Amino acid sequence: MNKILVTGVDGFVGRHVVKELISHGHEVVGLGGENKNKRLDGLSSYQKLDLTKIEEASKIDFKEIEAVIHLAGMAAVGPSFENPMLYIDTNSRIESNLFEISKRQGMKPKFLIISSGSLYDSSASLPLTEASSVLPNSPYAVSKLTQEQLGAYYTSIGFQVVTARPFNHIGPGQNPGFIVPDIAEQIVAIEKNIIDELHVGNLTAQRDYTDVRDIARAYRLLIEKGISGEIYNICSGSAVSGSEIVSSLLKNSTKKITPLVDPSKLRPVDNPIIYGSYEKLHKQTGWRPEIKLDQTLIDVMSDWRSRE
């Protein structure tokens, strides 16, 4: 059994990762910033820390930590256009602080750095592989590429660093700021007669969606079997349009709803189609997506209906 530190344990992905790790015999130490999940079932310990501050990160004891799954940071693409330096500075600063504090303590646990499939060049041939060219189209993507470069530096000084490039991930527990929870929240609000209209952004763009529980399984396998210095895509291998997402969610609604395009929800840049290949990940770990999109969307709607 390994003792694994998970940053961002309070977040959408964090709780799924914790459940996945514990179910496979790992001991999990959680770091969060919101404190809402400090009693998350199975955690051996929890600390609420602002990891952007080196003095806060210094409170982490890396002595018995064998691996780190680094989830903490700013994740939404849309808001990054309004405050690019906040994203770039926050995401790079947190990662650097983690490496530096572990180094000061004379410890070099294996790190899994979470990057993003959004940093690939939109003109590259599909499916996107780890060898495809990168050309970030948002400040968020720039921040993730910066994190990758930091990981490469720390690899050069003796750390084991594996990089994951997950594409869009969705599932129960995700909060607004992304297409699936944004739509699901509105549908449920209409069902409850709280609002009257469903507002959407660009529904023609096609994206590669993976269930967050499959993503969590990939993270576990990468921290167990991933090769240091390597990058791995995590994706479904196919693209689905926003209109298909909306249609599938509406099939699970108790009301007849017609979507209305809201110009304020349109992004400055929106690639028409993106999907990746998970062949490298499969060869190294045996991973492949298991949860079908329809089931994910059913679970998302159930999750929103259960919220107060």
Three-class DSSP labels, 135-152: CCCCHHHHHHHHHHHHHH
Mapping DSSP to helix (H, G, I), strand (E, B) and coil, where does residue 266 land? coil
CA distance linking residue 130 with residue 193, whole number of Å:
46
Tell me what pLDDT residue 177 has: 87
Average pLDDT on 301-308 reads 93
Residues 18 and 164 both lie in one domain: yes
Q: What single-letter amino acid sits at 74?
A: M
Which 8-state DSSP code applies to residue 240?
A: E
Residues 138 and 263 both lie in one domain: no
pTM listed for this prediction: 0.94
pLDDT in tens, 92-120: 999 999 999 999 999 999 999 999 999 99
Q: What single-letter amino acid sits at 213?
A: R
Residue 300 in contact with residue 176, Cβ under 8 Å? no
Q: Judge whether residue 308 has pLDDT over 90.
A: no
Q: What CATH number does the domain containing 245 carry? A: 3.90.25.10
Residues 71 and 133 both lie in one domain: yes
Tell me what pLDDT residue 117 has: 96
Residues 83 and 45 both lie in one domain: yes
> Which residues, at least 6 apart from 41, have a Cβ–Cβ distance to it below 8 Å?
19, 22
CA distance linking residue 189 with residue 231, whole number of Å:
40
CA distance linking residue 127 with residue 120, whole number of Å:
11
pLDDT in tens, 6-20: 999 999 999 999 999
Across the chain, mean pLDDT equals 94
Q: Judge whether residue 250 has pLDDT over 90.
A: yes
Q: Residue 255: give the domain boundaries.
A: 179-205+239-275+294-306
Residues 187 and 153 both lie in one domain: no
46 class by beta-carbon count within 10 Å (0-12 exposed, 13-18 middle, 19+ buried): middle
Q: Judge whether residue 165 has pLDDT over 70.
A: yes
Percentage of the chain surpassing pLDDT 90? 87
Average pLDDT on 211-225 reads 98
Residues 245 and 136 both lie in one domain: no
pLDDT in tens, 134-149: 999 899 999 999 999 9
Comparing CA positions, the residue from 29, 24, 142 lying closest to residue 88 is 142
Q: Judge whether residue 37 has pLDDT over 50.
A: no
Residues 47 and 92 both lie in one domain: yes
Residues 215 and 146 both lie in one domain: yes
Q: What CATH number does the domain containing 128 carry? A: 3.40.50.720
Residues 10 and 91 both lie in one domain: yes
Residues 88 and 129 both lie in one domain: yes
Domain count, the chain: 2
Residues 130 and 187 both lie in one domain: no
Residues 213 and 139 both lie in one domain: yes
Tell me what pLDDT residue 199 has: 95
Average pLDDT on 279-307 reads 97
